[in-house]
């Protein structure tokens, strides 16, 4: 009987030890996982404050002299149009020229000169984005005046983007804190100190766009833009 009682005491001791070990493990697990991670976001609609438009004047003539003369005539027409529009920043870039050669009956190129081609890249810039948009839509009408022109899409930028990014990151972090507080409210817990913050990529898109990219988006095609910031924040749970 005495041996049986001793055996009971030993068994009880083992069970108590095992229970203490399990409780210790559970407590340790709760402490190490006493963190909540939340993603917050913030956005702002901005209007571009500068615009750039680039295009090429194209000339094709029999020789260099004829091509150059025709190019100068067309440049005068274009520059007059731009000055009438009150464009002050006009940049002529390096002019490019090359010969083209005739083909024989088999389609192979010969050494017989066909024409000489000139390309004059021109770029304009203005803080008046609506004017840049207007010119981008109208400038091809110079074809009616004998100008052969190829126009690229206009580019629009917002100069205060660096400052805006800082403000949006702050708002995104606050949004993450608000979300964490809402998630913890039913549990009776509250949000503690920030443990870590990881900034996501910025998405700069047209206002009505829902596109996102892991690499970020930097739209320059639209005057009005939506700038979105994302912050992944971890908080201590109180």
Residues 6+ apart with CB under 8 A from 135: 53, 82, 85, 87, 124
CA-closest candidate to residue 122, choices 221, 224, 190, 52? 52
> Do both 141 and 228 map to the same domain?
no
Last-in-domain residue among 154, 183, 217: 154
Summarised one tens digit per residue, pLDDT across range 170-204 is 999 999 999 999 999 998 899 999 999 898 889 99
Tell me the CATH number at 40.
3.30.110.170
Task: Give the whole-angstrom CA distance, residue 3 versus residue 234.
Answer: 56
Tell me what the mean pLDDT of segment 138-153 comes to.
96
The distance of Cα 212 from the centroid of its chain, to the nearest Å, equals: 9
Task: Give the whole-angstrom CA distance, residue 218 versus residue 206.
Answer: 10
CA geometry: angle 10, 16, 19, nearest 5 deg: 145
Residue 10 lies in a domain: no
| Predicted local distance difference test score (pLDDT) of residue 15 | 40
Task: Give the whole-angstrom CA distance, residue 158 versus residue 170.
Answer: 20
- Give the range of the structural domain holding residue 122, as residue numbers without chain letter: 50-154
Summarised one tens digit per residue, pLDDT across range 22-80 is 333 322 223 236 899 999 999 999 999 999 999 999 999 999 999 999 999 999 999 99
CA-closest candidate to residue 42, choices 173, 161, 158? 173
Query: Radius of gyration of the chain from Cα atoms?
Result: 35
Tell me what the mean pLDDT of segment 220-234 comes to.
95
pLDDT exceeds cutoff 80 at 228: yes
Last-in-domain residue among 154, 186, 209: 154
If one counts every other C-beta atom within 10 angstroms of the C-beta of residue 30, the result is 10
What string of DSSP letters covers 41-77? EEEEEEE--EEEEEEEEEEEESSHHHHHHHHHHHHHH
Summarised one tens digit per residue, pLDDT across range 151-173 is 999 999 999 999 999 999 999 99
Last-in-domain residue among 115, 133, 154: 154
Tell me the CATH number at 93.
3.30.70
Residues 6+ apart with CB under 8 A from 98: 116, 117
**Residue entry with tokens 């025709």:** 70
Number of domains in the chain: 2
């Amino acid at each position: 009987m005495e041996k049986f009682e001793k055996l009971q005491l030993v068994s009880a001791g083992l069970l108590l030890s095992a229970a203490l070990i399990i409780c210790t493990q559970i407590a340790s697990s709760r402490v190490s996982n006493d963190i909540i991670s939340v993603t917050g976001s913030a956005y702002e609609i901005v209007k571009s404050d500068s615009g750039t438009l680039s295009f090429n004047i194209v000339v094709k003539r029999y020789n260099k002299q004829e091509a150059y003369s025709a190019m100068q005539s067309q440049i005068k027409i274009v520059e007059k149009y731009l000055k009438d529009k009150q464009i002050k920043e006009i940049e002529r870039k390096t002019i490019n020229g090359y010969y083209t050669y005739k083909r024989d009956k088999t389609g192979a190129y010969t050494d017989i000169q066909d024409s000489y081609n000139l390309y004059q890249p021109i770029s304009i810039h203005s803080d008046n984005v609506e004017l840049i948009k207007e010119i981008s839509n109208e400038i091809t009408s110079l074809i009616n005046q004998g100008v052969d022109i190829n126009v690229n899409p206009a580019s629009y930028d917002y100069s205060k983007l660096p400052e805006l990014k800082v403000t949006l990151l702050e708002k995104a972090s606050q949004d993450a804190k608000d979300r964490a507080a809402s998630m913890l409210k039913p549990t009776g817990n509250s949000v503690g100190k920030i443990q870590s913050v990881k900034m996501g990529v910025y998405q700069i898109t047209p206002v009505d766009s829902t596109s996102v990219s892991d690499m970020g988006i930097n739209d320059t095609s639209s005057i009005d833009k939506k700038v979105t910031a994302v912050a992944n924040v971890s908080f201590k749970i109180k």
